[in-house]
Amino acid sequence: MKNLSIQALEQTDTVVLDHGTGARLSRELVELIAEILGDTYLGTMEDSALLDLPSRQIAFTTDSFVVTPLIFGNGDIGKIAVCGTVNDLAVSGARPLYLTLSLIIEDGMPISELVTVIESVRDTAIAADVKIVAGDTKVVGKGEADRLFINTAGVDVINLANEGCLCLFVESDSAEEVLRLLQAHPLGQKAAIIGEVLTFPQAKVSMLEQDGTVSTIEELYGAELPRLC
């Protein structure tokens, strides 16, 4: 059952600068976030987390997320933040375990919108089987952020959540086995071998068109395509 201060905070229209002062409003905001995260949050409201890792070798990454709009279609900045960090670690051969979650919130952001994003963080962390162990919350003035920026860090044990499509470069002798493992996962059933790496005097990427012609794929100069990771 929610305590009265959290119920009152949820009824507030927007985040205000006093939510970042370290006083009562800050505490209530952090308590709201922790309550929404539920069992996915293992932190104890301390500045850092002590982790038991069953390995001498770990993978570690950090990422920042700036997305407009914050909520779109079947996704949002919270889902992207968890998926993106898990993906960065998973492609290094690690098993995702722990994340940190830092929020930079603009003064005036609707509380209801923040709640939606944090709920998405929770649900995506559950789906990826990772725990959030530490975090930070800052509130900045109007115009100093685009409603919400998120920074994450991830720790995995070296032993696929994914923002979009994943391209793996695999030794040819292992390609069929990797493909079999990918297709065995519900999200990888359409995985396919789409090409091979050959030896050329100059590096280039060629694509076989449906009509049989071969085209050269030029390296992008800037942001011609959407990129989130």
Q: Could you tell me the pLDDT band of residue 54, with boundaries at 50, 70 and 90?
A: confident
The pLDDT tens digits for 85-108 are: 998 888 887 888 999 999 999 999
Q: Which helix (H) or strand (E) holds 86?
A: helix 77-90
Q: Which residues contact 153 (CB under 8 A, 6 or more apart)?
A: 60, 61, 62, 63, 85, 99, 100
- Residue 62's pLDDT is what? 92
Specify the range with the lowest mean pLDDT, choosing from 31-35, 52-56, 96-100. Answer: 52-56
> Does pLDDT of 76 surpass 90?
yes
Output the pLDDT for position 91.
Answer: 81
pLDDT-wise least confident of 13-17, 39-43, 119-123, 200-204: 200-204
Tell whether omega for the bond before 69 is within 30 degrees of 0, i.e. cis: yes
Tell me the C-alpha distance between 76 and 141, whole Å: 23
Instruction: Calculate the alpha carbon distances from 174 to 73, 145, 170 in Å.
Output: 37, 46, 7
Distance CA 42, CA 83 (A): 19
Q: Which residues contact 205 (CB under 8 A, 6 or more apart)?
A: 216, 217
Tell me which of 189 and 224 has the higher pLDDT. 189
- The pLDDT of residue 108 is 94
The pTM assigned to this predicted structure is: 0.72
Instruction: Please give the order of strands across the beta sheet that includes 148-158.
Output: 58-65, 148-158, 94-106, 131-140
Query: What does the pLDDT read at residue 229?
Result: 45
Average pLDDT, the chain: 83
Kindly tell me if the per-residue pLDDT of 218 is higher than 80. Answer: no
pLDDT (tens digit, 9 = 90+) per residue, 157-205?
665 333 456 788 888 899 999 999 989 988 788 899 988 888 777 777 8
Could you report the per-residue pLDDT of 108-167, keeping only the tens digit for each?
999 999 999 999 999 999 999 999 999 999 999 999 999 999 999 988 766 533 345 678
Distance, in Å, from the CA atom of 162 to the CA atom of 137, rounded to the nearest integer, reads 25
Give the per-residue pLDDT at 2.
53
Q: Which of 21-30, 33-42, 197-206 has the lowest mean pLDDT?
A: 197-206
Contacts with 30 (C-beta within 8 Å, 6 or more apart), sequence order: 45, 137
- 34 token code pair: 């922790």
